[in-house]
A and B are shown apart, each in its own frame.
Chain A
Amino acid sequence: MPSFPRVLLGLFCLLVAVLLLAPTLVVIPMSFNGNKSLAFPPVGFSWQWYDNFFRNPDWTTSFSNSLIIALIVAVVATVVGTLAAFGVSRAAARTGGLLRALLITPMVVPGVVLAIGIYAVYLDTHLVGTVTGFVLAHTMLAIPFVLIAVQASLEVFDRRLETAAASLGAGRLTVFRTVTLPLILPGILSGALFAFITSFDEIIVALFITSPYLKTLPVQIYTSITRDADPTVAAVGTLLFLATSLIIIAGLLLGMRRART
């Protein structure tokens, strides 16, 4: 029989969990609404909003736009961010600290301020409403996440293993491929995931640099909800929730297997 304080602690944790999850969970029943309204609780049951998401070109195009942009961003930001993390962690302590502070500014500066700056420059350079424009802006926003994740991995990485590998006959590139990379890979992968998500659900900058011809999913959600309270939004939300949950669960399981071996 667990003691009373233990039960109390358990209940409290449950309460916090509900508070954190409730706003997300509300979306799920709303997505099966039988009426054309975003009301909660929903009335009736239907798959029509899911159907709409997969049939309406406004939604499918914006979804594939977001997917393409986020994938490119994940690749570019991971490569650039990983290289930056190496630079920061292997430079002299003071230089490294300064570089790091500079590189994570996109995380600290208010999004609106950044968005205004980016918009102003993009107007001149005709990057508004282009995939290149989105990729550049989102990569900038994503690099700090990769930097932080990879740097954390590098900090626990024992550099003496590189010396050992060299003594066994490995050149610098081989050392990186066979020792350094496999050992910091978890950091790189979580950086890549963060970069993907950063781009995929980015809205502030996207609202500034979007155009009628190139909308990302968050922009489409925002315009549709402000224009006609379309419950398709709830269906999209539910799908995204499921997708991210699956990714995170897969990541956790993978991490658990790794920890056991």
Chain B
Amino acid sequence: MTASAGAAIEIRKASKRYGAFTALNDIDLHIRPGEFMTLLGPSGSGKTTTLNLIAGFTDISSGTLEIGGKSVTGLPSHKRNIGVVFQHYALFPHMTVGRNVAYPLTLRGIRGEERDRRVKRALDMVKMADFAHRYPNELSGGQQQRVALARALVFDPPLLLMDEPLGALDKKLREWLQLEIKRIHRELGTTFVYVTHDQEEALVLSDRIAVFNGGRIEQIGTGRELYDHPATLFVGRFIGESTVLRGMAETTGDGTTMIIGGQRIFAQGRLPGEARPVILLRPERVGLKRAGADAVTGENRLSGTVTEAIYLGSGSKYEVRLADGTVAVVRSPLGAADFAIGDTVDIAFLPTDLTLLPDDASADVTLT
């Protein structure tokens, strides 16, 4: 656990097929040395398959995979020198915590004092040094995962893979461990590749996020890029909260006009090609106003009825059923006017406070 340079990962045109099923379809992914990259997506989207390819648990069907500038095709997992943390901890139940962490060192011929010193340092890093003589079944889930992290890092791998490591833990513990993982990443400079289906977790942890869907990568970018400028409807809906508006659309000059529930909406910009456009709204970019009141020039208005009003302390969250049946999500800041369920209201937004995206039916699959 000396601050060693992390390894770069270069995946080109990689596919993985199981018989007729394509788990991974022609993906390209470049991960920089020392980067914290999260593979995000719903289950079955290919994110874990990608991790397994990097770890060497499965073979690539076609394409190339390089780690640290060297092709690892055909190299078995035990020769790849990669740390892996699993969702189910995978600690050896017949060994104490200390022996679990010493295991990879023993395999590398590191023994005696040097081994003890490194085990101690790894356990110190995850704050588990007092537990070295315990057995895994005497530890809580969070403690076990911290030991697993120490075991995966004790041999100074240039790359650490984590497969939903916090998936089995409760929310409080998860949030605390997220910060621990972030701290450890900062201290070590190791490349981290993290798989999760939890978009909030991805936003907290990552330098960059690759969003997977149906065996493909939809978009790679920082959390901010993905939230503010989603490339696809799927990404827009998967990252953060959103409202999607659909309607008859026509392009007018440098803008797009859309008819929604009989009302006309103007959006800045236009989509290239023939794709049918939809409008994606972020809840905090939308205002809630009394029906027909407080008009601002150029503002879009859609009328509806409040169906849910939740006070959050830092503000309020509303759900508004629009004329066409769409339920819009609105977050208003502290101090904005209050509304109650049943109120007739307008949602209001500027033509520049929205994202125009090509429609995609596959993005409507329930997201978990």
Contact = CB atoms under 8 A, between A and B. Distances in A.
Interface string A146-183: 00000000000010110111111111001100110011
Given A169-B104, A182-B94, A183-B94, A164 B84 contact: yes
A189 to B, nearest CB: 14
Interface stretch (B73-81, B183-191, B289-297): B73-81
B115 to A, nearest CB: 14
B151 A168 contact: yes
Contacts of B92: 161, 164-165, 179, 183
Contact of A167 (B83, B93, B108, B135): B83
Given A168-B107, A174-B107, A261-B135, A160 B155 contact: no
Contacts of B94: 182-183
B339 interface: no
Contacts of A261: 135
Nearest to B135: A261
Nearest to B106: A178
Interface residues of A, number: 19
B88 A169 contact: no
A163 B57 contact: yes
Interface in A128-158: 158
Given A163-B57, A164-B84, A261-B135, A170 B78 contact: yes
A168 B81 CA distance: 7
B82 interface: yes
Indicate the size class of the contact surface on chain B.
20 to 34
Contacts of A164: 84, 86, 90, 92
Nearest to B103: A168
Given A182-B94, A183-B94, A261-B135, A168 B104 contact: yes
Contact of B82 (A165, A167, A174, A183): A167
**Secondary structure of the A contact surface, majority rule:** helix
Interface string B127-161: 00000000100000000000000011001000000
Contacts of A167: 55, 57, 77-78, 82-84, 152
A99 B224 CA distance: 57
A243 B278 CA distance: 82
A174 B104 CA distance: 11
A200 B77 CA distance: 45
A160 B78 contact: no
Nearest to A169: B107
A164 B108 CA distance: 16
A179 B106 CA distance: 14
Nearest to A171: B78
Given A167-B83, A168-B103, A168-B104, A160 B90 contact: yes
A169 to B, nearest CB: 4
A185 B338 CA distance: 68
Contacts of A183: 92-94
Nearest to B55: A167
Contacts of A158: 88, 90
Nearest to B87: A160
A165 B99 CA distance: 13
Contacts of A175: 78
10 contacts: A158-B88, A158-B90, A166-B76, A168-B107, A169-B81, A169-B108, A170-B103, A178-B103, A183-B94, A261-B135
Given A158-B88, A166-B77, A183-B92, 17 more contacts: A161-B90, A163-B77, A164-B84, A164-B92, A165-B103, A166-B57, A166-B76, A167-B84, A168-B104, A168-B155, A169-B78, A169-B107, A169-B108, A170-B103, A174-B107, A182-B94, A183-B93
* 10 nearest A-B residue pairs (beta carbon): A164-B90, A167-B84, A168-B104, A169-B107, A166-B78, A166-B77, A182-B94, A169-B78, A160-B90, A169-B104
